[in-house]
Amino acid sequence: MQIYDLIQKTRRLMPLSEREIQMLVEGFTNGEVPDYMMSAWLMAVCCQGLTTAETTALTLAMLDSGDRLDLSSLGAPTVDKHSTGGIGDKTTILVAPIVAACGGIVPKMSGRGLGFTGGTIDKFESIPGFTVNLPHTAFLRILEEVGCCVIAQSGDLTPADKKMYALRNLTATVDSIPLICSSIMCKKLALGADCILLDVKYGSGAFMKTADEAAVLADLMVEVGKQAGRNCRALITDMNAPLGACVGNALEVEEAIRILRGESRGRLTELSLALAAQMLVMLGKGDIVECRQFAEDALTSGRALERLAAMITAQGGDASVTEDLSKMPHAAVQLTVRAPENGYITEIQSEEVGLACLGLGAGRTAYQEEIDPGAGVEFSRFVGDEAVKGEPLFTVYGKTEALCEAAAQRILQAITITENPAEPVKLIYKIVE
């Protein structure tokens, strides 16, 4: 069958067979299907969608395009956590060591940031000496000794996804639920963890703008995971405001360390504990109440901080940053913006904050671009807090005064201050099991 026929079938809402999808993905990966034809099919998917069976077949075809990691030598169940991306989302830095401190094993393969959403790999690489490019033997050894390890995607894993994502990014076909699902789940399945917890974001700083859209994506990913034989569940969480006080790579690592040291607490801490508890339940450590207490104890006792330090050391980094944050990279210029009026902060538009940080150099518009690890913003007041005229609202960090001033103006315009406080926003909208 010709690729032209497959494009026509998808356009006409005629489901493709598993073999047809396999042929399409294989042909594109080995260069037999040209970019322009795959682009046409991707656009047809964006416009018409795919069935659950087609999405599962696409995921498995992308999975079969490369290698898979084998974690069976660890001799214990493993759990992976994935977030669909957001502004200030640094939960992996907290969740992985918390679960490891409770006896879990957390293999984590993450990506770099692209656009206004941050990448977990960039955050960890802001720690001096930390390496994310490890051979499989070292990955397994660290998991066995420490309980958690974060690596970058290997060149041999899911090559079809790499080619397809690059094409989607150029052809405005990123925001398709079946394509997002397949891209995420093929990488999760390739990693080889027994259990997969998904943190599906919705709001102004996420791909999914509404809770209903996020629920559709969450349901689909959980079903695909189930069809692939994995224990999979999802939390649908709010991303209408940045998660935590900091946005920016080194700044977010510092914030996570302060939480692990017991120096601060808030929505970021609560979400991280909720995610960790779900992961421990999936590993069979107890019911949700017991596992939440296990996670809380690991955090407050300092055991989770010790695990993070051990992981940093094992991956070549300077673990003394957990004791001395001055060893983290810092921006040359900082600019503090003060509240222009009295009132209550009722909104901080996450996407605008992310775009402002992108302008500072904290993100990238192409994978090969360098980033400024010290750039970003730290909020002194957050949604629900009272703003007092003349007191600090946030501080911007960057390479030059001009960059900081431009970012500060954009972030200030993203903050809404009103006379009356806003209704509290629910952190977790729904759990999909």
| Catalytic site residue from 82, 123, 188, 285 | 82
Answer yes or no: 67 catalytic: no
CA distance 76 to 58: 29
Answer yes or no: 161 catalytic: yes
pLDDT at position 1: 63
CA 403 to chain centroid, in Å, comes to 26
Answer yes or no: is 293 within a domain. yes
Answer yes or no: 112 catalytic: no
One domain for residues 198 and 240: yes
One domain for residues 310 and 260: yes
One domain for residues 86 and 207: yes
Question: What confidence tier does 246 reach under pLDDT thresholds 50, 70, 90?
Answer: very high
Type of residue numbered 69: L
pLDDT digits (tens, 9 = 90+) for 17-37: 999 999 999 999 999 999 999
pLDDT at position 174: 83
pLDDT digits (tens, 9 = 90+) for 399-433: 999 999 999 999 999 999 999 998 877 899 999 98
Domain count of the fold of the chain: 3
One domain for residues 183 and 37: no
User: Do residues 344 and 384 make contact, with C-beta atoms less than 8 angstroms apart?
Assistant: yes
Residue percentage of the chain with pLDDT more than 70: 98
pLDDT at position 114: 62
One domain for residues 84 and 212: yes
CATH number at residue 282: 3.40.1030.10
Answer yes or no: is 428 within a domain. no
User: Do residues 203 and 240 make contact, with C-beta atoms less than 8 angstroms apart?
Assistant: yes
One domain for residues 257 and 313: yes
pLDDT at position 116: 62
Q: Which domain holds residue 381?
A: 329-418
Answer yes or no: is 220 within a domain. yes
Answer yes or no: 265 catalytic: no
CA distance 351 to 126: 23
| Catalytic site residue from 187, 201, 292, 381 | 187
One domain for residues 131 and 201: yes
One domain for residues 268 and 310: yes
Answer yes or no: 176 catalytic: no
Last residue of a domain, one of 305, 322, 339: 322
Mean pLDDT of 118-145: 94
| Catalytic site residue from 183, 204, 272, 350 | 183
| Catalytic site residue from 89, 161, 199, 219 | 161
- HSE at residue 338, side-chain half, CA atoms within 13 A, is 5
| Catalytic site residue from 168, 267, 381, 410 | 168
User: Do residues 134 and 127 make contact, with C-beta atoms less than 8 angstroms apart?
Assistant: no
pLDDT at position 424: 79
